[in-house]
Structure 1
Amino acid sequence: MNALLLALLLSHLGPRPEVLLGATPAARARGKPTVRKVKATQAPPDTPPDARAKPPQGLPPEGAEDQAPSGPPTPEVSDPLLTPVPPAPIQMRSWDEALELVRQRSTDLSTAQAQVESAGGQARVALAGLLPSLNGTVLTQLNILDTDNTSLFFGGGSGGGGGLGGGTTGFQTSDPPVTGGSDTQTPTKPPVAGLLTASVALFNYQAITTLRTAREGQRTATLSLAETRRQLSLALARALVSVAAQERLAEVNRVNLRSALERLALAQRRLELGAGTRLDVVRVQQDAETARALVVVGDEDLRKAREALGLALGTPEAVGLAPGVRVESLMQRAQKDCRTLENLEGRSDLAAARSRITVAERQISSVKAQYVPSLSLSSTTVALTVKEDAVNVPFWNIGATLSLPFWDGGVREGLLRQSRAQATSARQQSLALERSVTIEVAQARRGVKVAQDSRDISSREQKLAEENDRLTRRSFEVGTGTSLELIQTAAALRQAELALVVREFQLERAKVEAFLAEAACDW
């Protein structure tokens, strides 16, 4: 027992020599003195009753040892860093609330939906190549040099070439009247003509293959949208777990800082009483500064995690978790919005990769279809304004067109080589994705067991570090331990507590990743 402890004990003694103090082995193991009472001599008969009732001076009252604290009182400490980080301006209370923000604000989701819409538009354009088309043209002309001698010209590039033979046809509108059909009628001045052209493809293999390719591309975009939903669910779950972990780490950092400041106050008190050295204070102060640094870094990590959650939710502000929200309940609700797949082949990214191969192969067929002749049916009618009647229809033509693609300078050959290369690239990308997904799923399944074992080991390490720190602190209080041992055990406890928090949230993250690795999200 050192001089400081002896001085503290003797300060409680009274002048009565028959009072004996001692420290039991159990008390020494706990690092605190225990008062052991010895039966006092019987008081003389003439002793006043009040004097007999009073316990001997220096002894605690009856039962006081049962009410005594387990150790010395904890010193009061204060530090600006002990103040927690202010809560985030936006706080999530449930998974459904977070998912609703993702639906409304996610740029990735909006982009994937726009790609689905674009693919649908391309499919509709491809379908138009197989459906009838109907075009109308209304025109009027005036001969500036001779207003009385005006002719109407219908060029092949104005939409009437199909029925008029693709050349330029003119109708004389000067006096005497021109003949349109079986009757002779005089056109109006200025003349007005209407041209109506209709066409339909009787056989167009290129349009058929283009439509099939476009519809498969639409299916690819839909599968990509499903994969985007799965990735957004995974990113949201990771962000929520990260925020919860960083909030817990920030809390643990402050607990460790308070403990370090309490050890510093104890070392300074020992130095003031002459039982400690300046070296002890410096060592403990170094440990306190290390704890402060962890608080500063942990607070910044918490702010970054909140900002990352805000970006995942589609907002530029920091987002945190509402008080009392447990990450376990959030993850359980997240698993209800996604369904487990019966086999890995149904995962959206693998299905999209296989669909891209189909698109590339059909593009090859589309290029080959350009070598096949096409047959179309067209009809054209013209109406003129005349003086004798409102409208005169001079003719109505109907014809068929057979297109024979003999030579285009090598354009089709180049497109064929390009489409074949794209198909090969799509196959290789799909094969690489299948390999990586197989490893990803295997690692995700194994990761849950690894995270569980790591969490259990960290839990045992934390308990041992806590007990070691408690015993070392008691030894330091009674003077049998050194400041170096106190700092080492405190640092070990701090690392064990932080590791336990990280392992707990890694376990939750591993469970979510293992589930979503073989799931489809249809929200």
Structure 2
Amino acid sequence: MISLIAALTLTVSAATPVLTLDEALQAARQENLDLKVARARLEQSALLSRRAWAGYLPTVSVGGSYTRNSNEAVVALPGGPEIVIQPFNQFSAQAEVRQAIIAPSLWPAIRSAGIAEDVAELNTENARREILFAVAQSYYGAASYQEAIRAAQFLLEVNTAREADTQKRFDAGTVTRVALLRAQLDRARAEQDLLRARNAYASARLALATLIQRDADFTLELPPVPQVPAANEDLTKQALEQRPDVAVARRNLDLAVSRRQGVWFSYAPSVGFSGVYRLSNAAGFTGRNDVWALTLSAQWMLWDGGLREINLREESARVAEASALRKQSEARVTEEVARARLEYENAQANLSKAQEALGLARETQRLTEISFKAGVATYLEVADANAALTNAEVGAISERLQASLSALRLLRAAGVFMAE
């Protein structure tokens, strides 16, 4: 029965396509919904500069109207023709052009819009890296569960064969019923462990499939532990230079300073120009159906009830907040890099010990099996050796996963994970 199950497992694995880590990351770049949302928001933010410049560009408007008057008004000038001041049916059209000549409050606004676009772009880049980091974490986790299934299958096959052998020995009267019950119990536990491993793998694979927006009809291959920079490299400096979240904190400070400058510039006067052309079938007192006017205007708000002073204090507080957040971000990154380096070194040491323990467990299980067949070792010694081997297999897989995840976290903390 176990051989049949193993054969079916191999057949399904051969028929199911293998999804590599690079393919999963590429699929996330193209199909991940969170990344699509971030890109859509970036496209919206790309219009901030145009919106800010719109206040400094000329505006042109045209309009027309029709009025039905109850009375007609006509003026007859001495020695001149009669002029219709108000006809029964009055038509008029107007064209107007406005242009800001000196608008100090708009200058910082334009600069702030450009900074805001930079912040949006950096946030999108940070979101992209975090999403790909989540995909890589999920891939390594699911691949490790897949390896755990193989270890559980091996233990089940060993315990099933041991149960069959013990049953034959019990029938021959060479072992006690306690030994047979122990063999059956070990086989039942192995079946339960295999079921747990398969369920955990199915859940992890479903989570990965959701991140990359595809059906969970794939198997995985366990990638090697990611390579990390050498210990003598200054990863903290690299992280402060390359991490987009640090750049966001710095640009947010620039944005706060620019907005405070905008309040200062609001104290300055503004100068504008406007031109109007009107056309009507009512000539008016000038005797002409069309008139135009050019206007140069200046405005200087001397007192607005203290609103600008309030805005200045508010923006100054935001500058102080942004400055503190920038320092906090840099301190957090420094701590993350140092902690990630320690975790990676610890995980590498644990992995080395787990691999050594696995080698010893395999050799112990092999020698115990030989001794048991020779009648030297007891069944309990064989069961203990098999259990130790399984624990060593699972421990090695777990430590390999932790080493891979710690390497990913170190690359992320240093700002080099998926930087391209």
TM score, norm. by length of structure 2: 0.84
After superposition, the C-alpha distances for 1:242-285 in whole angstroms (9 at most, x for unaligned) are 22212111111111111111122222222111111111122222
Distance 1:376 1:87 in 2: 74
Q: Which has the larger radius of gyration?
A: 1
Deviation of 1:496 after TM superposition, in Å, equals 0.1
Deviation of 1:130 after TM superposition, in Å, equals 1.6
Identity %: 25
Provide closer, same or farther for how the CA distance between residues 98 and 128 of structure 1 changes in structure 2, counting only shifts above 3 A: same
Query: Where does residue 497 of structure 1 map in the other structure?
Result: 393
Deviation of 1:294 after TM superposition, in Å, equals 1.4
Distance 1:403 1:140 in 2: 34
Distance 1:411 1:83 in 2: 77
Q: How does 1:280-299 map to 2 (within 5 A)?
A: 280-299=179-198
Match of residue 339, structure 2, among 433, 438, 443: 443
Match of residue 243, structure 1, among 119, 125, 142: 142
Deviation of 1:298 after TM superposition, in Å, equals 0.8
After superposition, the C-alpha distances for 1:97-143 in whole angstroms (9 at most, x for unaligned) are 43443233222222222232222222211111222222222222223
Query: Where does residue 485 of structure 1 map in the other structure?
Result: 381
Secondary structure of 2:99's partner? Answer: strand
Structure 1 range deviating more: 103-112 or 242-251: 103-112
- Are 2:244 and 1:348 aligned? yes
Match of residue 364, structure 2, among 462, 468, 481: 468
Contact (CA 8 Å) 1:196, 1:381: kept in 2 or not? yes
Match of residue 97, structure 2, among 176, 198, 203: 198
Secondary structure of 2:247's partner? Answer: helix
Secondary structure of 2:63's partner? Answer: strand
Distance 1:483 1:102 in 2: 51
Q: In the alignment, residue 254 of structure 1 is paired with which amino acid?
A: Q
Distance 2:199 2:6 in 1: 13
Gaps of 5+ in 2: 228-234
Distance 1:476 1:93 in 2: 42
Query: Where does residue 218 of structure 2 map in the other structure?
Result: 320
Contact (CA 8 Å) 1:472, 1:481: kept in 2 or not? yes
Contact (CA 8 Å) 1:341, 1:519: kept in 2 or not? no
Contact (CA 8 Å) 2:75, 2:83: kept in 1 or not? no
Secondary structure of 1:205's partner? Answer: coil
Distance 1:367 1:254 in 2: 70
Query: Where does residue 310 of structure 1 map in the other structure?
Result: 209
Match of residue 254, structure 2, among 351, 358, 361: 358
Structure 1 range deviating more: 201-210 or 404-413: 404-413
Distance 1:359 1:498 in 2: 51
Deviation of 1:212 after TM superposition, in Å, equals 0.9
Query: Where does residue 152 of structure 2 map in the other structure?
Result: 253
Q: How does 1:193-232 map to 2 (within 5 A)?
A: 193-232=92-131
Contact (CA 8 Å) 1:341, 1:520: kept in 2 or not? no
Deviation of 1:92 after TM superposition, in Å, equals 5.4
Higher normalized helix content (fraction of residues): 2
Deviation of 1:95 after TM superposition, in Å, equals 5.0
- Are 2:376 and 1:376 aligned? no
- Are 2:350 and 1:454 aligned? yes
Match of residue 271, structure 1, among 159, 165, 170: 170
Q: In the alignment, residue 116 of structure 2 is paired with which amino acid?
A: G
What is the number of equivalent residue pairs in this alignment?
404
Q: In the alignment, residue 124 of structure 1 is paired with which amino acid?
A: R
Distance 1:436 1:482 in 2: 57
Q: In the alignment, residue 38 of structure 2 is paired with which amino acid?
A: A
Provide closer, same or farther for how the CA distance between residues 97 and 480 of structure 1 changes in structure 2, counting only shifts above 3 A: closer
Secondary structure of 1:371's partner? Answer: coil
Once superposed, what is the RMSD of the aligned Cα atoms? 3.3
Deviation of 1:514 after TM superposition, in Å, equals 3.2
TM score, norm. by length of structure 1: 0.69
Secondary structure of 1:475's partner? Answer: helix
Deviation of 1:442 after TM superposition, in Å, equals 2.5
Match of residue 40, structure 2, among 109, 114, 120: 114
Contact (CA 8 Å) 1:213, 1:362: kept in 2 or not? yes
Distance 1:405 1:508 in 2: 63
